[in-house]
Amino acid sequence: MLYIIGLGLGDEKDITIRGLEAIRSCTNVYMEAYTSLLSFGLSSNGLSNLESLYGKSIILADREMVEEKSDDILSEAHHSHVAFLVVGDPFGATTHTDLVVRAKKLGIDVKIVHNVSVMNAIGICGLQLYRYGETVSIPFFTDTWRPDSFYEKIQTNRNMGLHTLCLLDIRVKEPTLESLARGRKIYEPPRYMTINTAIEQLLEIEQARQESAYGEDTECVGFARLGSEDQMIVAGTMKQLQTIDFGAPLHCLVITGKTHPLEEEMLDFYRCRT
Phi, psi at 247, each rounded to 5°:
80, -150
Q: Is 92 annotated as a binding residue?
A: yes
Q: Is 251 annotated as a binding residue?
A: yes
Q: Is 36 annotated as a binding residue?
A: no
Closest CA to 126 of 204, 219, 54: 219
User: Cα 36–37–38 angle (5° rounding)?
Assistant: 140
Q: Is 9 annotated as a binding residue?
A: yes
Q: Is 226 annotated as a binding residue?
A: yes
Helix (H) or strand (E) holding 34: none
The residues, any chain, with a CB within 8 Å of residue 247's CB and separated by 6 or more, are: 224, 225, 230, 232
Q: Give the strands of the sheet with 136-138, arranged side by side.
A: 136-138, 164-168, 251-255, 219-224, 232-237
- Measured CA to CA, the distance from residue 69 to residue 94 in angstroms comes to 17
Question: Alpha carbon of 118 to those of 8, 101, 184, 251: distances in Å?
Answer: 9, 23, 36, 10
Q: Is 39 annotated as a binding residue?
A: no
- Measured CA to CA, the distance from residue 244 to residue 195 in angstroms comes to 9
Q: CB–CB of 30/59 below 8 Å?
A: yes
Closest CA to 234 of 196, 203, 262: 196
Output the known binding site for S-adenosyl-L-methionine.
9, 89, 92, 117-118, 168, 226, 251
Output the known binding site.
9, 89, 92, 117-118, 168, 226, 251
